[in-house]
Structure 1
Amino acid sequence: MEDTFKHKGLRAKLIETLKSKGIKDVSVLNAMSKIPRHLFMDSSFLDHAYQDKAFPIAADQTISQPYTVAFQSELLQVKQGDKLLEIGTGSGYQTAVLLELGAKVFSIERQQELFKKTSKFLPKLGYRAKRLIFGDGYKGLQEEAPFDGIIVTAGAPFVPKPLLEQLKIGGRLVIPVGEETQVMTLYIRKEEKTFEKETFGDFRFVPLLEDKS
């Protein structure tokens, strides 16, 4: 569980890459500069940990490209103390970014293998989410709603209605929508029944799994 000077140097280079690609939110860049991404990956990928690329993790999933993590985090506009719901805990890297930004994080993971692994791993690094839940992200987390923000880290073929319903007025949902490729989409809840929608170009995510049982 080492984080060496070499890792910190590679991380600093990655932050410069993110800036060059248009990430401007200083709090997001600072958060990502602190998190040892290499520890969230299989050891054979250590040399690749600070390249701006997605990589495979357990259960046929991926750890998202750092640019994607930064882009989604920036769209969320996280403020200290915000109550956030993350759909797709995955490796826990995005979770750690949200926690570094000072949010209270509730995170749902559909893959049992990843859920068990990440539930044990995050606290070892000192990252403590409010709750990590093994469950169906399409349903959100009604008992903890409403949320200041909801982030979906897998490709959704459609926007699950419960996620929109579980936003506070003024709350933001960041979700990649589509089948083969996804369009990054932001919904802001303006009133009870009114949402503002904005799109931000194409991304590629693993699919968001639904519990069909």
Structure 2
Amino acid sequence: MTHPRVTVARLAEAKHLPADALRRFGLSDSAEGVRFRYVSPSGAAGRTRLRTGVRGAGGSSWLPGDDAPVVAYSTPEGLGYATTAGYQIVVEGESDCWTAWHHGLPAVGIPGADHWDALTLAHLPVAEIFVQVEADSAQTFPGGVAEYVAAVVGRIRGVGFTGAVHELVLGPDVSDLSELYQRAPGEFTAGVGRALDRSRATSEAGAV
């Protein structure tokens, strides 16, 4: 069965986000699907991502032939939200970043579970970090989500971050920010706030 080509409009509809917001984040239509470039905190161009599916798992890859550096997914706008809020949410992939940024919340995306080393101290201009813990998925996290989270936390400490680091679990049946928003759009910001508070309480005895 042939599926329709993914476009910015179709992707926006699936994520319950305005298409104009995705275009503001750099997404554009192409013959192959939706393209957008990862950019370093300094503004230097990173590798281009190609989205061929509304879901990232199995539908998101690097543009063939692009040999630019692999960097974590951020924008000046997203880093500005982090600086203002005083915390950063580290997620896997792009969709959670779009959802967070559209609501004025900070997020930086790890470009695939095996690229946690793309995260740098420049992505973390904050005093507190929350590492999103998704549901286990063999496709997204081949080594298991616990191994991925441990690698991300290790990287955060390895680049010299000395502030608090928490594991962010959004709920017993909610995997990530995008899913939380799609389930209850009107409660999204409050729901994230409650999850952040729970994470702080869980690690109150000592940061990760």
TM band (smaller chain): 0.3 to 0.5
TM-score, with length taken from structure 1: 0.32
More strand by share: 1
TM-score, with length taken from structure 2: 0.32
